[in-house]
Amino acid sequence: MALSLEEQTRIDLAATFRIIAHLGMHEAVANHFSAAVSADGKQFLLNPKWKHFSRIRASDLLLLNADDPSCGDHPNVDATAWSIHGQIHRLLPQTRAVLHLHPVYTTAVACLAKPHIPPIDQNTARYFNRVAVDELYGGMADTEAEGARLAGLLGGKRRLLMGNHGVMVTAASIGEAFDDIWTLERACQILVTAWSTGQPLRVLSDDVAEKTARGWEGITDFSRQHFAEMKQLMIDADPSVLD
């Protein structure tokens, strides 16, 4: 019997948490991922408050409604998660997956006086002119107004480099979002390593960087298959993710 959209989304999102923990990109029991399960994008799944990514199962995910303020009062809903993810799913219905992380290299780049990702290789070029930047960090994002502000900053882009904070990636599918945030962290690792040499960077021309970024946008099947392979590795290692 075929799985419903919600059932499949639960499995895919639970697997994403396991993958991120496996890769060491998580932060203690913080950070949140969400995925829409309704046509209007307002019903979405979210991880419960303070549960380690490596232990999350499909059944653990909370089903919330972005139009229902009482969801923010649920004891297992973190205030910052509701503020950010609730507003994004309410205001940007085309967004089906939202991943917010504090990965080391991407966060390091976000802490620069002027956060930016110059195109120096194929990975960094994926983000040429395609990352919004927030330079107004003001503490924990625990209000709906702050969540709405962050949603507005995306401005047609799918990634937000959150100054002095971390990163948020949005996408049309969980698979695309996972591959994107994985590649973004790899890109920043390459960039920080290159900067650490103290030598001048060989930055790609705008034409080549734009051509490369468009090339990435043409292979979303690559992104989805990267996720499918990683998901299967997690299922093979611990089938409890499916519970």
Question: Would you say 72 and 18 are in contact if contact means Cβ atoms under 8 Å apart?
Answer: no
pLDDT(143) > 90: no
pLDDT(24) > 90: yes
pLDDT(1) > 80: no
Residues forming a β-bridge with 34: 46, 98
Number of Cβ within a 10 Å radius of residue 119: 24
Whole-angstrom distance, CA of residue 175 vs CA of residue 9: 11
Arithmetic mean of pLDDT, 208-222 = 98
Could you give the count of Cα atoms lying within 13 Å of 135 in the half-sphere of its Cβ?
Answer: 5
pLDDT in tens, 51-90: 999 999 999 999 999 999 999 999 999 999 999 999 999 9
pLDDT band at 160 (very low <50, low <70, confident <90, very high): very high
pLDDT(239) > 90: yes
Number of Cβ within a 10 Å radius of residue 175: 24
Domains and CATH numbers, the chain: 5-237 (3.40.225.10)
The pLDDT > 90 percentage for the chain reads: 94
**Angle formed by the axes of helices 220-237 and 174-196, nearest 10°:** 100
Contacts 24+ apart (CB under 8 A), 132-140: 132/157, 132/159, 132/160, 132/161, 133/160, 133/161, 133/163, 134/160, 134/161, 134/162, 134/163, 134/165, 135/163, 136/163, 137/162, 137/163, 137/164, 137/165, 140/79, 140/80
Q: Give residue 121's pLDDT.
A: 98
